[in-house]
A and B are shown apart, each in its own frame.
Chain A
């Protein structure tokens, strides 16, 4: 079966541009997570969904970051008016649930803001 996929794999944006990052979770996985990984650091939690409900968005760094999962499957992370500090790898993960289930990670999208 297919794993978690993310697109695009690489994105270069000029400062001030809006970007949209897509995540396709494993089929049947209820929970979906977004993380931001800066160079030399571990992934940092951004937000997570259970089906279409966004249950925790405490990690979103500013109101320029927005995530959605309208049909409880594919998710999009949108960053408005990108800044240089947004440059990072954005990881998506999915799991069967949140209670004692492991998360399966996608390959990530490397965003570079110039």
Chain B
């Protein structure tokens, strides 16, 4: 069965600190991977995606993620967070030719000014 696990439920950082949010997936076959962000009061938005090719993908707002196939991981990183990055972050996986996506339970990031 497909599953996605996010290691941290709640992360609190000060502005300018570096961020890494863990995501591990369990899936048989070719997988597409995503990070979504949900800012307070807003709907889910795509941060970045991995389909194939370069395992280091860059997204919006300075975020990046690295697909490490041998570790079944797709961790999200940002070198220097801002107060405006306060949000909930979801990792998701889907089969390359499948419809359904499987989401992790999310990580709430709080950035202190």
Contact = CB atoms under 8 A, between A and B. Distances in A.
Interface of A: 31, 33, 35, 40-45, 48, 50, 55-56, 58-59, 91, 93, 98-100, 102-108
Contacts of B66: none
Q: Chain B: interface secondary structure?
A: loop
Given A102-B49, A105-B43, A40 B99 contact: no
Interface residues of B, number: 25
Contacts, number: 58
Which of A33, A55, A102 neighbours the largest number of chain B CB atoms within 10 Å of its CB?
A: A102
A50 B97 CA distance: 13
Interface of B: 4, 32, 34, 36, 42-46, 49, 51-52, 90, 92, 96-106
Given A102-B46, A107-B43, A43 B103 contact: yes
